[in-house]
Chains A and B, each alone.
Chain A
Amino acid sequence: MSKSAILSSSIAKKYWMAVTGLFLCLFLVGHLLGNLQLVMKTGEEGRRAFNEYAYFMSHNIFIKVLSYATYISILFHAVDGIMLTLQNKKARPVNYVYNNPSANSSGAARKMAVLGTAILVFIVIHMANFWWKMKYSSEPMPIHTYVVSSTDQTGQSKTDTLYYTHTPSLQPVPTNPMIVVKNGTELYFKDVNVKVGDTYKDLHKIVMSFFGKSINGAPTNQYALFAVILYVLSMAILSFHLMHGFSSAFQSLGLNHKKYTPSIKLFGKIFAIVVPAAFAIIPVLIFLSK
């Protein structure tokens, strides 16, 4: 009894929706803090901060565990949500001829499944835009290199293009035909197979050009304006989903209390506005700064 109850009963399904939904809210906060690196610092400094962050995210075991928890949560939340919605449709085979639901409930609350499905579509597009490119694309990823100017002993100024590396004990590694990149980011001497350092994938450049800002004259996405609009609209949809979802999750978990519920509702509304708005402003700022 207890085993099937905890998996299949209507209340258990609500618990799962709430737990995965709140976990995804935490994920949003983490993801946002990382993304803000794109606009908090500018120039080479911002680029380094973001690429270091991206490297950390893909090489830390703790983050790896969290990321799998996130994938599972999204899948579970989406599948459970769609199942719930289909069951709920079945629970009313004949509809009212005349209905006035806005008299007693908010549109966001009634449209959770449509909003959620739109978010799912966005997540797929978003992962194809960046995550897939970073991990699996057959095109080689751009590598983070930077230019330094210096004056040598004879007083002549010269410029060098260096790999941005994170093996501090080694000398700066210049980009020249002697050095080859293996396994995406590892730098080797061409013929002797000796590793000289690790560099970074330049995800920063991919993001910037995707939203229409050219770095060092690199070509940009010709549909950047369309991309910015799509991302901003998707965040508006997320905002509506959270406007109902955040406080709803607490009710699902059985946390309804005269003392705390008003604050949870208020916090949920603020969260639902601030977090998606902060996400949305990033592509807009990038687009406008070109």
Chain B
Amino acid sequence: MASKFINISLKVWRQKNANAKGAIETYKLDHVSTDSSFLEMMDQLNEQLINERKEPIAFDHDCREGICGSCSMYINGRAHGPETGTTTCQLHMRSFKDGDTVYVEPWRAKAFPVIKDLVVDRSAFDRIQQAGGFVSVNTSGRTMDANAIPIPKDDADKAFEAAACIGCGACVATCKNSSAMLFVGAKVSQYALLPQGKVEAKDRVLNMVRQMDEEGFGNCTNTGACEVECPKGISLENIARMNREFLKAALSAE
């Protein structure tokens, strides 16, 4: 397929630092290959800005292959742009038309404060994870081989699907309540489904939910937006599972 070139107009959120008041700036960008990824287009825009002796736009990115979850951008009113099941790095400019105006904004949530331009601080997710998103194994050198424990295929599959969460925060960004329940639901489920995780299941769900609330994420109202926008297709079933786990734990904890 021969590559095509389009001219677009960008409206990008610019903000000097965490305390500065930001605003939308408009940029024209010509000759964008429809084969380039959205991040490559942003690189092209930054080159143009540098050539004009202007400050380039700060944005997070790392793997550029949809697995690190850092490329947080709210594009034309949707987390990671118009396609479903994709991160921003996997979004291509063929999803846009010549002459389009494209809005690019950072994730918006109290728990994800803007650091600069499109970069937000997602360390709230790390703290939730540290509150219980792990299995404490004895690493004395005599740990049992994981495969020695039989696990039903269904459970293994579901745990694997939950573990596909890359912590990108699109669920929070797209949720009208800035709720982190899809993320936390995935992390809780991933362990709750496996025998190794069951040992600490009670404390895990209570601690992770408490941390989630303390970070200032909103409450889920089951709009289902997160499931639609999640690049890894994490299902709402995981939130339901977390709610079950939470009730079990809250009723029996001392």
Contacts and interface: CB of A to CB of B under 8 A. Distances in A.
Interface of A: 1-2, 5-6, 9-15, 84, 87-88, 90-101, 103-106, 109-110, 112, 244, 248, 251-258
Contacts of A2: 206, 250-254
A110 B108 contact: no
B239 A10 contact: no
Query: Would you list the 6 A-B pairs with minimal beta carbon distance, nearest first?
Result: A100-B77, A91-B218, A256-B240, A254-B244, A88-B177, A104-B228
Given A84-B219, A97-B11, A254-B242, 16 more contacts: A2-B250, A9-B213, A11-B209, A11-B246, A87-B219, A90-B218, A91-B111, A91-B177, A97-B103, A98-B76, A100-B76, A103-B228, A104-B78, A104-B174, A104-B223, A109-B223
B24 interface: yes
Interface string B223-236: 11100110000001
Contacts of B219: 10, 13-14, 84, 87-88
A2 B202 CA distance: 11
B191 interface: no
Between A15, A95, A256, the greatest number of chain B beta carbons within 10 A of the residue's beta carbon is seen for A256
B77 A106 contact: no
B224 A97 contact: no
Contacts of A252: 220, 222, 243
Nearest to A94: B108
Interface residues of B, number: 53
A87 B214 CA distance: 12
Task: Determine chain B's interface SS by DSSP, over half rule.
Answer: mixed
B210 to A, nearest CB: 7
Contact of B216 (A91, A95, A103, A254): A91
A251 B236 contact: yes
Nearest to A83: B219
A92 B109 contact: yes
B78 A88 contact: no
A84 B223 contact: no
A247 to B, nearest CB: 8
A252 B224 CA distance: 12
Contact of A87 (B105, B108, B218): B218
Contacts of B177: 88, 91-92
Contact of A109 (B216, B221, B242, B246): B221
A255 B77 CA distance: 31
B221 A5 contact: no
Contacts of B251: 2, 6
A90 B212 CA distance: 15
B247 interface: yes
B94 interface: no
B222 A251 contact: yes
